[in-house]
Amino acid sequence: MIDLDTLKQKLAQPCKIVITTHHKPDGDAMGSSLGLFNYLIQKGHYVKVITPTDYPYFLQWLPNNPEVIIFTDKVEESKKLVAEAELIFCLDFNALSRINELGEEVKKSSALKIMIDHHLEPEGFDDFRHWNINACATAQLIYDFIVNYLNDGELINKDVATCLYTGIMTDSGSFRFPNVTSDLHRIVAGLIDAGAENWKIHQQVYDNATEGRLKFLGYCLSNKLEVLREYNTAIISVSKADIKKFDIQTGETEGVVNYALSINGIKLAAFIVERSDRVKLSLRSVGTFPANEICKKYFEGGGHRNAAGGQSSENFDKVVQKFKSILPEYKELLLQ
């Protein structure tokens, strides 16, 4: 581990920096990465953002998005950048398995690794960490890092503010989760003062659906929703064929699980989707119910108490059955 002064010294002269974030980046992952990018380029650093995979079109408008390199599209270039980097910022994840094959490259690189994250139980690959599980978004920690660690609040320009606002808005469910505090609202107010156009950002992320996505949502709600009242649980499960039928792209299944959770009395909601190589689960819960525990224990995953994810290499129907078979173990908590 290194201390803040050592990191500050390192950042005092132009460095080769790589910023990376988790597989299938979401709004917080991209907002944090490009927010930090737009700050670091003002300091004269040579910076690249490398994502392990592609990410949704409704995030591709973020300031300086064309600078992002997708590892799977440019494997050799990405490997070279990671190998030659002096600093690697690892944002919104805390285990190298979350960045797929890029994890091996990061591990091998002699760069200093700086982890900025809000997920539970860091694996420990980092040399410096700004980690707080009470933060509602990694973007909130990036703000804190720039303003309070590096004393560069005046460099939160419109581009940085727009990216960080996006990260906070998406990870806080548009400012409605329990970890949204008055302090967070003060940060957000500062971002709006710095030029973030709140209404426009919301529109670009949330009112940007394709016709297919809306029809898919309608299909999920009328044909694929199962409500298990005896466990206060609702499940939406969709097969590969359903995804194909509606031409659903990366990120377009995001948020579907929240409709299942919005039913009155429901404590746990699951969205189970058959992808090309595995079955992916997205769980959401209300109150103290530990959705992350189910993902960790049974589905090679993890996450936060109220929002967690996991996967399985078993067949789709088996995974849905497995999820249902776990519910009796949690019956007491679900019926509380």
Contacts with ligand 5GP by CB under 6 A lie at 119, 282, 301-304, 307-311
CB atoms inside a 10 Å sphere around CB 313:
9
**In angstroms, rounded to a whole number, what is the distance separating the alpha carbons of residues 104 and 101?**
6
**Which residue's CB atom is positioned nearest to Mn ion?**
28
CB nearer to ligand 5GP: give 63 or 251. Answer: 251
Q: Could you tell which of ligand 5GP, Mn ion, none binds residue 138, using a CB distance below 5 to 8 A set by kind?
A: Mn ion
State the minimum distance, in angstroms, from the CB of residue 118 to Mn ion.
6
Q: Sheet containing 112-117: give its strands across.
A: 68-70, 46-51, 16-21, 87-91, 112-117, 128-131
Displacement of CA 107 from its chain's centroid (Å): 21
Q: Could you tell which of Mn ion, ligand 5GP, none binds residue 308, using a CB distance below 5 to 8 A set by kind?
A: ligand 5GP
Contact 294, 304 (CB under 8 A): no
CB nearer to ligand 5GP: give 65 or 311. Answer: 311
How many residues comprise the chain? 336
Residue closest to 51 by CA, chosen among 88, 99, 89: 99
Q: Which stretch binds Mn ion (CB under 5 A): 21-29, 55-63, 154-162, 198-206?
A: 21-29
CA dihedral of 317, 323, 326, 330, whole degrees rounded to 10: -150
CB nearer to ligand 5GP: give 59 or 307. Answer: 307
Q: Sheet containing 307-312: give its strands across.
A: 225-228, 233-238, 268-274, 279-285, 307-312, 302-303
Please report the DSSP string for 266-295 in residue order. --EEEEEEE-SSSEEEEEEE-TT--HHHHH
Per CB under 5 A, which of residues 101..140 are in contact with Mn ion? 138
Q: Is 92 among the residues that bind Mn ion (CB under 5 A)?
A: yes
Q: Which two structure tokens, joined as six digits, stand for 261?
A: 């959770």
Measure Cα distances from 132 to 179, 215, 301, 306 in Å: 12, 38, 19, 16
State the minimum distance, in angstroms, from the CB of residue 171 to Mn ion.
5
Task: List the alpha helices (DSSP H) in the chain.
Answer: 4-11, 27-40, 75-84, 102-108, 138-144, 158-171, 182-193, 198-206, 211-219, 240-245, 256-261, 291-298, 316-326, 331-335
- The one among 126, 171, 252, 274 contacting Mn ion by CB under 5 A: 171
State the minimum distance, in angstroms, from the CB of residue 174 to ligand 5GP.
15
Q: Which two structure tokens, joined as six digits, stand for 23?
A: 């597989």
CB atoms inside a 10 Å sphere around CB 335:
11
Q: Is 86 among the residues that bind Mn ion (CB under 5 A)?
A: no
Q: Which stretch binds Mn ion (CB under 5 A): 27-35, 123-131, 194-202, 250-258?
A: 27-35
Q: Could you tell which of Mn ion, ligand 5GP, none binds residue 27, using a CB distance below 5 to 8 A set by kind?
A: none
**Which residue's CB atom is positioned nearest to ligand 5GP?**
309
State the minimum distance, in angstroms, from the CB of residue 80 to Mn ion.
28
Q: Which stretch binds Mn ion (CB under 5 A): 163-171, 235-243, 255-263, 298-306?
A: 163-171
Torsion sign (Cα): 78, 83, 86, 88:
positive
- The one among 17, 24, 28, 191 contacting Mn ion by CB under 5 A: 28
Q: Which stretch binds Mn ion (CB under 5 A): 13-21, 169-177, 284-292, 303-311?
A: 169-177
Q: Which stretch binds Mn ion (CB under 5 A): 23-31, 47-55, 199-207, 259-267?
A: 23-31
Q: Which stretch binds Mn ion (CB under 5 A): 17-25, 157-165, 167-175, 204-212?
A: 167-175
State the minimum distance, in angstroms, from the CB of residue 320 to ligand 5GP.
16
CB nearer to Mn ion: give 176 or 244. Answer: 176
State the minimum distance, in angstroms, from the CB of residue 313 to ligand 5GP.
12
CB nearer to Mn ion: give 217 or 307. Answer: 307
Residues in contact with Mn ion by CB under 5 A are 28, 92, 138, 171
